[in-house]
């Protein structure tokens, strides 16, 4: 169950099939999140620099802080104390939440699409039946015309 | 990939196409969230005023607290200690979570709609085919009538 | 924009239309969440009672703790320190997250349904057209039969 | 309302009907989350071992920490202080968030599918009507042929 599922996920993220909007949007959001995490960690150290009670002083600390902020865990071991640092934090939070929302939405779209494709097979079966119907009607016309031609010939 | 995606997002939020329920609901929820954050920050300062161990004392502090509460990060650098302040906090939490849920749901609806429109093209192709079928049947009737008229004329 | 939206939300939660699975599920989950919050606050006080470093000692404190736990904010002003209290906490967390997931899913279903009903109008328009087609075919048969009757009568 | 809903949930998780992608994916994600929580608790104790200010020292503490991290509650009573421990924490956070996103997406798919099946009944009703139409057209052909045969016979 799992290996096939993971293989599919990798295929969707890297592969040829990944052209749908939802996969592209989730991928783009993840890329933006990675960038905002890396830049936000740098920006918060710059913003907090020199503040008396600042606890975000080095880039490695700030990177860890950015990760726990983007995931909304927020242990409270590190947090910004300046206005600038808090604006950076708000941006990291919003981008983090939106990214996870986009991943959830992309998963939902993938699931819904799969369910509908299953029903689509039923629908295309119905379409084949309707082609048979049209064929049958044409055969009735052919027969009518042959009858009329025979009728005319008999005279 | 990204610029087109962002342009589309802006267009959806501001633009002429933004008439669907899900875009309106996500926009309304964001507006309510902004209002609740601004008002909640003010209300929590009022509610906490005079409490012995209160740590939410000024509006800027409370605004930062409201942001980290609405996003459910909750570092623990600020938190309400009175009953009134905690009721305000609960309201900010619930509005924040519901807004992000609405944004996620709106994204899912947008993605699902896009996928279905792709299939809709297939469906309208099928409809064109069925119009051709109807046209063909009418031509068969025309031919039959000409045959009958000819049949009648030959007599 | 907003008043109509809220009126609709209230109507869906209380009203006659609220028979769909997703509305019932979101309502049931909210009821379960309220119950788990109230019971969990009581259970955690019982579980923590007597533990040396326990900080959850009274029901009002525990109720506030249950709210910030169910919303996953977790300031860290209160937290369980015993095994029993932590099991209660895990239950409150899981029920809280599932409830918000259910609300998000119900919103998505509502939005998607609305979008599809819009397209459904187009589909029923197409169905009317196809009824016109069938009517036209029957008229062709009527005319053919009249022609044949006339043809037969002319002889 | 609730008992039927719970019975259905259990049936979906355990039962014969649970073959859809979304149920399998949500189940697999929950299994992965359980595994990552158990392994992550062990890995973080190993990673933090010997660090001067480490607060994650025993497996039971670490298990509780893994639960509050995977749910993104993050009280701040325990948190990793080493690079290795923080990498483990990031993995637990991402797996936790993705799992809850998958559960939300699976719920949305289930709700949407239910709504569409309701409409599907309408669609299959329409299909029956179209079968009646085809039958009526064949009857018109039968009548025309009988008329022609009678016409031919009258001569």
Q: What are the tens digits of pLDDT across the range B83-117?
A: 999 999 999 999 999 999 999 999 998 888 887 77
Cβ neighbourhood burial of B24 (10 Å; 0-12, 13-18, 19+)? middle
Dump pLDDT digits (tens) for C134-149: 777 788 888 888 877 7
- Could you say which residues from 68 to 87 on chain B have a Cβ atom under 8 Å away from some Cβ of chain D? 72, 74-76
D59 backbone dihedrals φ, ψ, rounded to 5°: -65, -45
The interface predicted TM-score of the complex, written ipTM, equals: 0.73
Q: How confident is the model at residue A154 (pLDDT cuts 50, 70, 90)?
A: very low
Helix A2-14 to helix D21-48 angle, to the nearest 10 degrees? 90
Asked if D74 and A74 come within 8 Å (Cβ–Cβ), the reply is: yes
What average pLDDT does range B15-43 have in this prediction? Answer: 85
Closest Cα of chain C to B128: distance in Å? 11
What CA–CA distance (Å, rounded) separates D55 from D77? 9
- pLDDT at position A132, please? 73
In the predicted model, is pLDDT for residue B61 greater than 50?
yes
When pLDDT is cut at 50, 70 and 90, the band that residue B57 belongs to is: very high
Looking at per-residue confidence, does B9 or B76 come out higher?
B76
Residues 6+ apart with CB under 8 A from C68: B74, B89, B93, C74, C75, C78
Task: Let me know how many helices (H) and strands (E) chain B has, helices first.
Answer: 4, 0
Instruction: Judge whether residue A54 has pLDDT over 60.
Output: yes
How far apart (Å, rounded) are the C-alpha atoms in residues A23 and A29? 10
DSSP A63: H
Q: In chain B, which residues have their Cβ closer than 8 Å to the Cβ of A90?
A: 67, 71
- Which pLDDT band holds residue A144 (cuts at 50, 70, 90)? confident
Say if the Cβ atoms of A76 and D76 lie within 8 Å: yes
Q: Which of B41-55, B86-100, C95-109, D18-32 has the weakest average pLDDT?
A: D18-32
Q: Residues of B47-74 as b/e, b for ≥16 C-beta within 10 angstroms?
A: bbeebeebebeeeebbbbbbbbbbbbbb
Position B92 scores a pLDDT of 96
* DSSP for residue C20: S
Q: Does D103 touch chain C (CB under 8 A)?
A: yes
A18-42 average pLDDT score:
88
**Residues listed for chain D:** 155
Predicted confidence at residue A1, as pLDDT, reads 44
Confidence of residue A153 (pLDDT cuts 50, 70, 90): very low
Locate the chain C residue with the closest alpha carbon to D131.
Answer: C134
- Decide which of B68 and A138 is more confident: B68
Mean pLDDT of chain C, nearest integer: 82
pLDDT, tens digit, 9 for 90 and up, residues C111-135: 888 877 766 665 555 556 666 777 7
Question: What is the structure's pLDDT at A117?
Answer: 74
- Average pLDDT for B5-19: 55
Residue B136: per-residue pLDDT:
78
**pLDDT < 70: residue spans in chain D:** 1-19, 118-131, 151-155
CB of B98 less than 8 A from some CB of D: no
* Residue D104 forms contact with B (CB below 8 Å): yes
Alpha-carbon gap: B74 to the closest alpha carbon of chain D (Å): 8
The share of chain C scoring above pLDDT 70, in percent, equals 75
pLDDT at position A125 is 57
| Residue C20: per-residue pLDDT | 80
State the average pLDDT over residues A3-14.
57
Tens digits of residue pLDDT in C53-72: 899 999 999 999 999 999 99
Nearest chain B residue to A72, by CA: B73
D29 and D103 Cβ atoms separated by less than 8 Å: yes
Q: Is the pLDDT of residue B128 over 80?
A: no
Contact across the interface for B104 and C104, Cβ inside 8 Å: yes
pLDDT of residue B103: 92
Q: By the CB < 8 Å criterion, does A104 face chain B?
A: yes
pLDDT of res. C104? 93
Q: Measured between CB atoms, which of A74, A76, A108 is closest to C108?
A: A108
Question: With bands split at pLDDT 50, 70 and 90, how would you rate the model's confidence at B146?
Answer: confident
Which chain A residue shows the shortest CA-CA distance from D21? A111
Q: Out of B47-51, B56-60, D15-19, pick the least confident.
A: D15-19
Tell me what pLDDT residue D6 has: 58
């Amino acid at each position: 169950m799992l290996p096939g599922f993971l293989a599919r996920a990798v295929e969707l993220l890297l592969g040829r099939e990944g052209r749908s909007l939802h996969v592209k949007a989730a991928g783009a959001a993840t890329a933006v999140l990675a960038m905002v995490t890396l830049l936000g960690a740098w920006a918060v150290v710059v913003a907090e620099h020199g503040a008396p009670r600042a606890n975000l002083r080095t880039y490695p600390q700030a990177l860890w802080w950015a990760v726990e902020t983007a995931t909304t865990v927020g242990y409270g071991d590190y947090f910004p104390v300046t206005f600038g640092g808090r604006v950076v934090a708000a941006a990291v939070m919003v981008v983090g939440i939106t990214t996870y929302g986009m991943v959830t939405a992309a998963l939902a779209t993938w699931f819904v699409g799969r369910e509908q494709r299953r029903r689509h097979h039923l629908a295309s079966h119905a379409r084949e039946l309707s082609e048979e119907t049209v064929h049958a009607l044409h055969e009735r016309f052919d027969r009518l015309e042959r009858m009329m031609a025979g009728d005319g010939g008999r005279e």
